[in-house]
Amino acid sequence: MQSSLVLQNLLSAPVLFFFLGILGVLVGSDLEIPSPLPKLFSLYLLLAIGFKGGMELAQSGLGPQVLLTVAAAVAMSLLVPLSSFLFLRLRLDGYNAAAIAASYGSISAVTFITAESFLNVVEVNFDGFMVAALALMESPAIVVGVILARLSAPTEDAEIAADQQNGGGNLRWREILQEAFLNGSVYLLIGSLVIGYVVAAFSPAGLAKMDPFTEKLFYGALCFFLLDMGIVAAQRLRDLKQAGAFLIGFSLLAPPLHALLGLLVSLLLGLGQGNTLLFMVLCASASYIAVPAAMRMTVPQANPSLYISTALGLTFPFNVVIGIPLYMALSRQFIPLG
Q: What angle do CA 238, 314, 312 make, to 5 degrees?
A: 80
pTM: 0.84
As a whole-number percent, the residues of the chain with pLDDT over 90 amount to: 40
| CB proximity list for 87: less than 8 A, separation 6 or greater | 250
Helix (H, G, I), strand (E, B) or coil at 148: helix
Of 39-48, 76-85, 262-271, the poorest mean pLDDT is in 39-48
Q: How confident is the model at residue 7 (pLDDT cuts 50, 70, 90)?
A: confident
Q: What pLDDT, on the 0 to 100 scale, is given for residue 1?
A: 56
| CB proximity list for 116: less than 8 A, separation 6 or greater | 49, 126, 278
Helix (H, G, I), strand (E, B) or coil at 63: coil
Closest CA to 103 of 251, 236, 225: 251
**Does residue 158 surpass a pLDDT of 60?**
no
What is the phi-psi region of residue 133: left when phi exceeds 0, alpha when psi lies from -120 to 50, beta otherwise?
alpha
Average pLDDT over residues 20-47: 89
Q: How far apart are the first and last CA of the chain?
A: 20
How many whole angstroms separate alpha carbon 149 and alpha carbon 96? 8
Of 126-130, 253-257, 262-266, the poorest mean pLDDT is in 126-130
Q: What angle do CA 75, 65, 260 make, to 5 degrees?
A: 50
- Contact, 109 vs 49, CB < 8 A? yes
Closest CA to 111 of 255, 265, 293, 305: 255
**Does residue 36 surpass a pLDDT of 70?**
yes
Q: What pLDDT, on the 0 to 100 scale, is given for residue 179?
A: 64
Burial of 46 (0-12, 13-18, 19+ CB in 10 A): buried
Q: How confident is the model at residue 35 (pLDDT cuts 50, 70, 90)?
A: confident
Average pLDDT over residues 92-112: 92
The 10 Å CB-count burial string (b at 16+, else e) for 274-287 is bbbbbbbbbbbbbb
Average pLDDT over residues 225-238: 87
**DSSP per-residue letters across 297-335:** HH-TTS-HHHHHIIIIIIIHHHIIIIIHHHHHHHHHHHS
Q: How confident is the model at residue 2 (pLDDT cuts 50, 70, 90)?
A: low
**Does residue 118 surpass a pLDDT of 70?**
yes
| Long-range contacts, stretch 170-173, CB < 8 angstroms, 24+ apart | 172/298
Q: How confident is the model at residue 180 (pLDDT cuts 50, 70, 90)?
A: low
- The mean pLDDT of the chain is 86
Closest CA to 329 of 281, 277, 283, 285: 277
